[in-house]
Structures are given as structure tokens and as C-alpha cells.
Amino acid sequence: MSSESDPRFRRSREAIVNAARELLLLHGPAAVTHNQIAEHAGIGRATVYRHWPRTDQLLAEAMATVPLPFFENAASPYREWLTRELTTIAGQLDQDDVRAVTSTLVNTALWDAAMDTRREGFASVLSERLTAALGEAARHGELSLRGDATAAAAMTIGPIYYRATIERKPADATLIERCVDAAGEWRTL
């Protein structure tokens, strides 16, 4: 009986996901193999294969345990809301696990269709939520949008993502304020 209701099945599944996540964070995506997971989790290799026949599924599973940042609960005053959200994103991208998952997603998506679908979903949610929030801000008279609103994600998250992954430094309050300003022309209410 190796079904989802079997507590031993659930326990080995958890041990595998934990080992996959730890290997990803310690050594990078290339370390997430059936062999290394079996060894790291102290579980037979056949068990690892039974749960996840393919390495890319294991990596996806390991990545899913790290929450990625999203724009949520937009509210007036929108300038303050955007500053808070970008500060949160900057703080998350300053953490090793989030940086590891984000850059592994971007890299593996170039060769793996399932990862690319995940990347696309992540990019779409960020862009749609931000575009909607900035549209609300414009209707409230708090913001004059500059050009195309769908470019807002690239303009506001892009510099923070570059700072965190290419420059490997934390985004300070000054950089975050410039990202907020890059969203459009803000008006004091």
C-alpha cells in the first residue's frame, strides 16, 4: 500500500522534498539528482524514483517550497503601497533561497518547457497585478501613467532584480524610490 493516505508514503515524500530543497540551496540545481537525494535523505533510490520519476520534477518540487514574491492587496495611497511591495521584494531577493529559486527558474526555463510555463505564470501574475494596481492609482488621480502600463513590472522590479542577481548587493531605499518614480508621475493627494 503505497498511496497518499499511507503515513510512510507521506513521510518519505516529505523527506525527499526537504532533501531536494536543501541540495538546491547548498549546491545548485545540478545537485538535485535521484542519487544525491537518496543519500541526503537516507532513503532508497527506488523510493525516490517511485515518487518522482524525473529529475526536473524533483527540482520543480524543491522550488515550489520557496514562496516567490507577488503584488497583493493594492490600496490607496498607492505610492506608499508600491514602496512597501518593492521593499518586500528587495528583502526577499536578498535571501539566498529566493535568489537561488528565481535564478534557477530563469536558467532552467531556457531548456525545460515545464519550467518555462512556471516562469511565464510567475511573470504574468506580477505584471497583471501591478498593471491593475497602477490603473487603480491612475483612476484615483494619484498617478499619471507613463506610456504602456504593462512595462511597469520591468521598470519597477527590473532594477531590484538586476541589483540582487547581477550586482549581488541589497537594493537600498534610494534605489527603491527611483523604481517607484519609474512607474509614472506621482501626485501628492
Considering only CA atoms, which of 150, 135, 148, 144 is closest in space to residue 181?
Answer: 144
Rounded-to-integer distance, Cα 151 and Cα 131, Å? 8
- For a copy of itself, the binding residues in 23-62 under the rule CB under 8 A are 26-30
**Among 65, 67, 165, 187, contact with a copy of itself (rule: CB under 8 A):** 165
Nearest distance in Å: CB 13, a copy of itself: 24
Using rule CB under 8 A, residue 168 touches a copy of itself: yes
Q: Which stretch binds a copy of itself (CB under 8 A): 40-48, 84-92, 128-136, 141-149?
A: 141-149
**C-alpha torsion sign, points 74, 80, 86, 90:** negative
**C-alpha dihedral over 2, 30, 118, 128, to 10 degrees?**
140
Considering only CA atoms, which of 98, 84, 135, 106 is closest in space to residue 21?
Answer: 98
Using rule CB under 8 A, residue 113 touches a copy of itself: no
Phi (first) and psi of residue 184, to 5 degrees: 160, -165
- For a copy of itself, the binding residues in 6-25 under the rule CB under 8 A are none
Nearer Cβ to a copy of itself (133/152): 152
Nearer Cβ to a copy of itself (43/153): 153
> Per 3-state DSSP, what percentage of the chain is helix, strand, and coil (rounded to 5)?
70, 5, 30
| Contact yes or no for 54/60 (Cβ under 8 A) | no
Nearer Cβ to a copy of itself (13/99): 99
| Contact yes or no for 178/87 (Cβ under 8 A) | no
Nearest distance in Å: CB 162, a copy of itself: 3
**Among 43, 130, 163, 180, contact with a copy of itself (rule: CB under 8 A):** 163
Using rule CB under 8 A, residue 123 touches a copy of itself: yes
Residues binding a copy of itself (CB under 8 A) = 26-30, 96, 99-100, 103-104, 106-112, 116, 119-120, 122-123, 126-127, 146-148, 151, 153-155, 157-163, 165-168, 171, 174-175, 177-179, 182
